[in-house]
Amino acid sequence: MGESTLSTKNQIVVPKEARQALGLKPGDKLLVVARGTRVIVLQKPERYHTALRRLSKRSYSAKYLAKERNSWE
């Protein structure tokens, strides 16, 4: 786990391990989300629609989705 310090200019450096895990390079955009006292840093997707579709495909198997859709009828 990397650690970062807030500079006097209110800047942080993303630790090397995090940059490598996300595949970040100079100029990439990040989203910083505050949830109470916690902060989440995410790589900003180029297209939100595509990113959301990828997330939903990983969440549920095709078999589960078919079962749910059949229950609606």
Alpha carbons 7 and 43: distance in angstroms, whole number: 21
The tens digit of pLDDT for each residue in 11-63 reads 989 899 988 988 888 988 888 888 889 887 777 777 767 666 666 666 677 88
Alpha carbons 53 and 46: distance in angstroms, whole number: 13
Q: Would the pTM of this model clear 0.85, i.e. be above it?
A: no
Q: What is the pLDDT of residue 11?
A: 92
The tens digit of pLDDT for each residue in 54-71 reads 666 666 778 888 898 999
Q: What is the pLDDT of residue 36?
A: 87
Q: What is the pLDDT of residue 10?
A: 93
